[in-house]
Chain A
Amino acid sequence: MSKWLKRFYLFVIMVFLYAPIVTLMILSFNESRTSVKWGGFSLKWYQQLFESRTILAALGNTLLIALLSAVLATLLGTSAAIAISHMKKRKQSFCMSIVNIPMLNAEIVTGIAFMLLFITLGDLLAFFGIHFEMGFGTVLIGHITFNLPYVVLSVMPKLKQFNLSMYEAALDLGAGEGQAFFRIVLPDIMPGVLSGFLLSFTMSLDDFVITHFVKGLGADTLSTLIYSELRKGIKPEMYALSTIMFLAVFLVLLAVNLKPQGGVKNTN
C-alpha cells in the first residue's frame, strides 16, 4: 500500500470514530432545543447545565461511582492478581476464568443476574426486618465486579515480569514483608495497577446496561438519565456536559501522552 493510501484509510476511520463526537459538540452550541434544526450559536445550554439539579446529581453519582469502584476494584484486583500469580497452573486458569466472567459474559446477563440477586436479597432481609433496596450501593457493587477482570488482566503481566529474587533479596536484607512489598514489588507493578485503575474508571463511566438493571430508582448515573430522557428528547444541557467532560479528558490524556515516558502506558 502506498503511504498516501495508508494515511487516507487512517483518516477515514478517524472521521468515522469522531464524527458523532463532533456532532454532539456542535449540537451543544445549538440555540434551538431540537436536534432537527440549527437555531444559531448559543452558550445558553452551558449556563443552564449548572442550574440543572438532576443532571448535576447524576454527574456526581457517576463520578463518585466511577472513582470508588475503580479504587476498590484496583485494591481487590491487585491482591487477587498477586494471589493468582502464585497458584499452580490449573488452579490459576480456573480462577482467571471465574474473574473474567463479567468481562466475557453479555452485559445484559450480568445485569439481570445482579438484579435477581439484589431483589431476592431485599426480600430476604425484609423478612428479618432489615430494609434494603437497590440504589447507589448496588450500582457500586456491580461496577466493582465488572471492573475486577480489567484490573487483574492489567496487573498480571507485570507480576509475571517481576523478578521474585528482588523481593527475596529485600527480605534477606532485613525488610519486613510489608516493607518489601510496598518498596520493591508495588513500584514495579505500578504501571499495571495504574492502567487497571484508569481502565476501570473509564469502563464504569461509560457503563449503561448493568447500571440500568441495578440502579433501582435511587441512583441515576448520566447514562441512565440519558436513557430515560431518550423518549422525550435529550436535553441539550447533556450535550454541553459531555463536551466539557470530553475536552477535559482529552487535554489531560494529551498532556500525559505527550510527556515522554511519563505516561501510563498500556500494559502489553
Chain B
Amino acid sequence: MYKRSVSYPCILWSAAFIIIPLLFIFYYGLTDRTGAFTLSNLAAIATAENSKALILSLGLSLLSTAICLLLAYPLALILSGSKIGRSGFIIFLFVLPMWMNFLLRTLAWVVLLDTNGVLDTLCKLSGLPRFKIINTPAAIVFGMVYDFLPFMILPIYNVISKIDINVVNAARDLGANSFQTLYKVIFPLSLPGVISGITMVFVPSLTTFVISTLLGGGKILLIGNVIEQEFMKGTSWHVGSGLSLVLMLFIIVSMALSTKYDNGEGNVL
C-alpha cells in the first residue's frame, strides 16, 4: 500500500507553504530596507514600548494559562469519572461553541462585561460591588480564558480518561487516600495532557491581537498588536518580521517542551 509517490504532494506542499513562508520571515527579519543584513529588527524588541508589550503579553498569557489549568483539571477529572464524559457527547459540547464565530463570541463578552452591561447590572441589583473590568487587562485575561479553555480541557480529559482504572484501584488498595492517589498517580500520568494543554493555551494567548483589540478598548498594546500594526499600518515589515522572530523563540521553547513530554496521547484530537 505504500508507494513513495504518495508522499510527494504533501512534501511539495509543505515545502512551498510551510517552509518557504517561514524563510521569508527570516529574510525580512534579518535585513533592512536596502536588503543589507542587520540585527536591528531583532533589537527592536528592546525599545521601551515593545519590551513593555512583550512583558505584558507574557504576564497575561501565563496568568490565563494558569487559570485555564486550574479550571480545566478538575473538570477533566469530573468528566472522566462520569457517564456523559465517556460518550463522545462531551467533546461535542466543547467543540460546539466553535461553530459560532469566535470574533462574535468574544464580542458578546463586551455586552456582558460592559459598565452597565449584563453582569454589572446584576451586581448592582444584588448589591455586590460594581463590575468594572472592560477595557482593562483583566478583561483580556477573561477573553483568553474563555477562548482557549477548551484547548486545555480536551487534552487533559483525553489522557485522564485513558488511565488504566486498575492502576488507580491498586493505589487505593495499597492504602493511598484519594488526595494521594490524585497527586501521586493520576497527576503524573496525566502530565502529557497537561503539557499539551499548556502549549495549546499559552501560544495563542501570547500572540493574540484580536482579543486585546476587542476587549481592551484600544488602550492595551500586546506584542501581537505591535506586530499586526507593523504590517497592516505599513510601518515596517522588517521590524514586524524581526519581532515575529523573537516571538517564535518563545513558541519554539514551548514546542520543545511539549514534544519532550508528548507521547502522542496528549493531542487535542
Contact = CB atoms under 8 A, between A and B. Distances in A.
B134 interface: no
Nearest to A75: B9
Nearest to A153: B269
Nearest to A116: B24
A23 B10 contact: no
A253 B214 contact: no
A104 B2 CA distance: 28
Given A145-B13, A245-B100, 6 more contacts: A9-B75, A106-B206, A144-B13, A202-B95, A213-B231, A249-B96
Contact of A242 (B92, B104, B110, B210): B104
A109 B208 CA distance: 10
A45 interface: no
Interface in B58-115: 71, 74-75, 78-79, 81-82, 87-89, 91-112
Contacts of B210: 208-209, 227
A226 B104 contact: yes
Contact of B97 (A18, A82, A144, A239): A18
B203 interface: yes
Given A79-B6, A148-B10, A250-B96, A141 B17 contact: yes
Interface stretch (B34-42, B47-55, B240-248): B240-248
A222 B149 contact: no
B103 A84 contact: no
Size category of the B interface is 35 or more
B104 A24 contact: yes
Contacts of A20: 100, 104-106, 108-109, 112, 146
Contact of A113 (B7, B24, B101): B24
Given A150-B269, A202-B98, A266-B269, A106 B247 contact: yes
Interface string B101-145: 111111111111000001000000000000000000000000000
B190 interface: no
27 contacts: A24-B104, A27-B108, A27-B111, A80-B6, A83-B6, A83-B7, A98-B14, A104-B203, A104-B251, A104-B258, A105-B203, A106-B247, A108-B227, A109-B247, A112-B227, A112-B231, A113-B22, A115-B231, A116-B237, A144-B17, A148-B13, A157-B264, A167-B1, A202-B95, A206-B102, A213-B231, A230-B213
A243 B54 CA distance: 37
A102 B207 contact: no
Nearest to B149: A17
A83 B78 CA distance: 39
Given A113-B24, A206-B98, A108 B224 contact: yes
B25 interface: yes
Contacts of A193: none
A48 B238 CA distance: 44
Contacts of A177: 1, 3
Contacts of B87: 257
Contacts of A98: 14, 18-19
Contact of B25 (A10, A14, A109): A109
Contact of A6 (B82, B110, B214): B82
A57 interface: no
Size category of the A interface is 35 or more
A16 B4 CA distance: 49
Contacts of B259: 97
A79 B7 contact: yes
A169 to B, nearest CB: 12
Given A234-B107, A268-B269, A257 B88 contact: yes
Contacts of A199: 269
B217 interface: no
Most B Cβ at <10 Å: residue of A16, A104, A141, A250: A104
Contact of A114 (B21, B112, B240, B255): B21
B97 A21 contact: yes
A127 B33 CA distance: 20
A49 B101 CA distance: 16
A14 B97 CA distance: 11
A13 B75 contact: yes
A263 interface: yes
Contacts of A227: 103, 210
A110 B265 CA distance: 25
Contacts of A77: 10
Interface in A213-268: 213, 222-223, 226-227, 230, 234, 238-239, 242, 245-246, 249-250, 253-254, 257, 263, 265-268
B32 interface: no
Interface in A159-201: 164, 167, 177, 180-181, 185, 195, 199
Nearest to A171: B1
A17 B75 CA distance: 13
Nearest to B27: A116
A262 to B, nearest CB: 11
A44 interface: no
